[in-house]
Amino acid sequence: AEKFGIKQALKDLGLADINDGTSTGSDFFGSGELIESYSPVDGALIGKVKATTKEDYERVMSAATEGFKTWRSMPAPQRGEIVRKFNEELRRLKEPLGRLVSYEMGKSYQEGLGEVQEMIDICDFAVGLSRQLYGLTMHSERPGHRMYEQYHPLGVVGIISAFNFPVAVWSWNTALAWVCGDACVWKGSEKTPVTSVACQKIAARVFKENGVPEGISCLVTGDYKVGEMMTSDKRMPLISATGSTRMGKIVASKVAERLGKTLLELGGNNAIIVTPDADIKMTVIGAVFGAVGTAGQRCTSTRRLIIHESMYDKVKDAIVAAYKQLKIGNPLDEKNHVGPLIDKDAVKNYQNALTKVVEEGGNLIVEGGVLQGEGYESGCYVKPAIAEAENSFEIVQHETFAPVLYMMKYSGSVENAIDLQNGVNQGLSSAIMTNNLREAEYFLSVNGSDCGIANVNIGTSGAEIGGAFGGEKETGGGRESGSDAWKVYMRRQTNTINYTTELPLAQGIKFDL
């Protein structure tokens, strides 16, 4: 860890003592068993973090519930000012936090920095939003009446996030929820607990310095049992959960039992359609980054390439050639393109997908395999693989969180490609590579992509924070981040005021006394 600058990064983040498990994000953190975090980069221990017990959870919830009462009364632009101060700290600590994300999660250093940049961007967005939490006014059907709607803070929001974006997804939720006047309880991934503590520490410090109650930002740590405390808790009107479809279904049904709200951002099975009018150079960059970036562990990673038969061999050869150039290794070394998978279970899933696709009749054109030897001691480094496959294969229908790309052909018009691309259970991200206006517009039309994200001449991953992020079908239907995604963190109230001395009833109903 020392040689990767992690010791210094931990020090800069105030986590020098994280190794003995005494370093906690705030008083409301945990007293349970120690969760050890090992880096997939070199297999070394990064730190130990205490899990949240039922008693800890109760303390967290009473702090959050109490804190909310103060926070909700503070004018939204003042809450925005606190988020601005938090963002100043993120800007100051971008380097060490990005480095730690890279080391604990395994994504490249550039992507670690990029992830912190997403946090900075959403905070900027949230600060502006704090003066734009607009409701509409309506014309009442009754004389002398005024009608409008307003948005009030919702309460204590539960955030469950995954290892692959260990810090950004939290911030997409919290930065908005904070300006909306909510308190947040965050369950970070137990695979990346140290980055969670780093974030919580920054928030807790800024809040303390500015006299904000501590409970506005709380962190809980642990496995699904901690998640269950949240999903079954009536004091949490909204649970925002990012992760697998399997997890999302459990969260959705638990929260629905108590008629709470969920914001779900689940699995994807993202495809790029390559038409006869595609720019090959752009296609190669988009497809290769989409498939191997973050070692294929983004929910937006490119899983499928749907290529027109007239272009198939050309595109296939160019992509296979590009795969030969890929350097796999320590993600903190900027000459490498692909880092490790998160852990050995992920390696097993990757191997399993390669076995399965061959069993189902697929053809591996870039073989893949687990790397061994110097620099690969953690056992988490794998070679990105490509298989020619059919869309109907069970394994192709399934999201494997690894750098496995499925290539398939389509013939005829773009409708056929769109049928394939929509022919999966997930609906997160999609892309078309074309310079043909008709194809591009058809892809974006009502008859086109059924996904929450549809791009033209851009790959499937790397969305900007300004748009609403999320997808349809088994992706869960939630929208996070930009546009009007903030509305889910507030409760809407419709208000009608009568400023006359009469009491006319709506719908013209007569009721004489």
Nearest to 255, CA basis, from 276, 236, 275: 236
CB of 325 to ligand UN1, least distance (A): 22
106 binding ligand UN1? (CB under 6 A) = no
E-strand spans in 106-226?
Answer: 137-138, 145-153, 156-160, 183-187, 217-220
Closer residue to ligand UN1 (CB): 189 or 242: 242
Residue 174: which of 87, 250, 261, 103 has the closest Cα? 87
86 residue type, one letter: F
In the block, residue with structure tokens 């160019």: 318
- Find the shortest distance in angstroms from Cβ 199 to ligand UN1: 16
Contacts of 326 by beta carbon, 8 Å cutoff, 6+ apart: 288, 292, 337, 338, 384
461 binds ligand UN1 (CB under 6 A): yes
Q: How far is the CB of 399 from ligand UN1 (least distance, A)?
A: 11
Q: How far is the CB of 429 from ligand UN1 (least distance, A)?
A: 7
Which residues are within 8 A (CB) of 160 and not within 5 positions of it... i.e. 6 or more apart?
187, 227, 230, 239, 240, 241, 242, 243, 247, 251
At 48, which helix (H) or strand (E)? strand 45-50
Does 240 help bind ligand UN1 (rule: CB under 6 A)? no
- Identify whether the C-beta of residue 384 lies closer than 8 Å to the C-beta of residue 291: yes
Q: Give the C-alpha separation, 227 to 229, whole Å.
A: 5
What's the min distance (Å) between Cβ of 268 and ligand UN1?
8
Query: Which lies closer to ligand UN1 via its Cβ, residue 377 or residue 464?
Result: 464
**Shortest separation between residue 464's beta carbon and ligand UN1, angstroms:** 7
Of 156 and 454, nearer to ligand UN1 (C-beta) is 454
Q: What residues from 42 to 81 belong to the interface with ligand UN1 (CB under 6 A)?
A: none
Site string for ligand UN1, 145-174 (x = CB under 6 A): -------------------xx---x-----
Helix (H, G, I), strand (E, B) or coil at 94: helix
Find how far residue 449's CA is from the centre of its chain: 21
Residue nearest to ligand UN1 (CB): 463
Active site residues: 265
> CB-wise, 1 or 432, nearer to ligand UN1?
432
Contact 51, 35 (CB under 8 A): yes
Q: Give the x/- contact pattern for ligand UN1 in 280-319, rule: CB under 6 A.
A: ------------------xxx-------------------
Nearer to ligand UN1, 4 or 350 (CB): 350
Nearer to ligand UN1, 120 or 311 (CB): 120
From 199-207, 382-390, 457-465, 471-479, span contacting ligand UN1 (CB under 6 A): 457-465
# of chain residues touching ligand UN1 (CB under 6 A): 11
Minimum distance from CB of 158 to ligand UN1 (Å)?
17
Of 201-209, 310-318, 343-351, 460-468, the segment contacting ligand UN1 by CB under 6 A is 460-468
Which position among 195, 242, 270, 378 is part of the footprint of ligand UN1 (CB under 6 A)? 242
Please name the residue that has the structure tokens 């308190």.
Answer: 183
In 3D space, the residue among 12, 15, 25 whose CA is nearest the CA of residue 47 turns out to be 15
Closest CA to 79 of 413, 388, 476, 489: 489
Q: What is the contact surface with ligand UN1 in residues (CB under 6 A)?
A: 118, 164-165, 169, 242, 298-300, 461-463
